[in-house]
A and B are shown apart, each in its own frame.
Chain A
Amino acid sequence: MVFYESPKGSVKVELGNRYLAALYAWLLPGAGHFYQRRYTKGLLFSLTVLTTYFVGFWLGDGRVVYASWKTNDVRWQFVVQCFVGAPTFPAIIQAVNAKENVAPLWIRNYRYPASDPGGKPGTPAFSRVTDPKELTRLANRKIPDGFMAAPFGPVTTTDPDVLSAWHAELGHNFDIATLYTFIAGLLNLLVIYDAFAGPGMFFEGSEEEDEDQDKAES
């Protein structure tokens, strides 16, 4: 059994199997603390990290967490986002599944191909197909949008593509949502550290301050 003890010995925490606690903390924010029976902190971390993550996820319409290493779309932010753990696993499954011309899993909606923007003037390239008749007409030319999947097809810096359609639809929210989910990942790194090594009390207040605090608490 491993214990954490603060520099002056006023705080002692039972860490249990710290490697297992860190793994749980990564899999689900706060779960490592629940394993160590630090319930209040576990609940606090769980609520804070998951709320931050899911607010970002909602702001970004579920499109900002995906894994992609394609040319012109290296999604480096995912390296940090994936520290939120299980909620990001569908993106990893989609990335493993992704091969050229293979449709993603869990398709949410379809888009018009670049060559066929719906036949209506003014319709932007890669806009969403909402009419069921159009879905039938397009047959296998329609472009799938998968849940937490990378934008389908090549991404270029000169021509419209699925990623640029996402940006056009979400506007600034694409970046704001990326920021929320990114910060959630960074915060869970701190949570994993806390589960693994205990609180980062590199400096403790003076004994007088501690006594004052104890009196205030009692």
Chain B
Amino acid sequence: MLQLLTSHFMHIFPLVAAASIVYGATRDERPTFVMAHILRSAVWMLVFLGVILVVLFLLGWWIP
């Protein structure tokens, strides 16, 4: 588990960064609003993926 966290799960961060930058920048034209959208979508994606990770981890731990 630790090995996975330090290897493949790390790809989440650059991918979420890329997705939130592009998604955020397509939501507005004004730089400050774009920044706000980028931050909001990054947090939203990380929380969403984190919840899925926790659920899968608990299922894996609960189901032998």
Contact = CB atoms under 8 A, between A and B. Distances in A.
Interface residues of B, number: 18
Interface string A172-189: 100010011001100100
A187 B20 CA distance: 10
A11 B30 contact: yes
Contacts of B8: 172, 176
Contacts of B26: 190-191, 193-194, 199-200
Contact of B29 (A11, A45, A205): A11
A121 B23 CA distance: 52
A217 interface: yes
Given A172-B8, A183-B15, A49 B22 contact: yes
Contacts of A187: 18-19, 22-23
Contact of B18 (A13, A48, A176): A48
A13 B28 CA distance: 11
Contact of B23 (A40, A172, A190): A190
A212 to B, nearest CB: 10
Interface string A151-192: 000000000000000000000100010011001100100110
B1 to A, nearest CB: 15
Interface of B: 8, 11, 14-15, 18-19, 21-23, 25-33
27 contacts: A11-B28, A41-B29, A48-B21, A48-B22, A49-B18, A52-B14, A52-B15, A52-B18, A55-B14, A176-B8, A179-B15, A180-B11, A183-B18, A183-B19, A187-B19, A190-B26, A193-B26, A194-B26, A198-B29, A199-B26, A199-B27, A201-B27, A205-B33, A213-B30, A213-B33, A217-B30, A217-B32
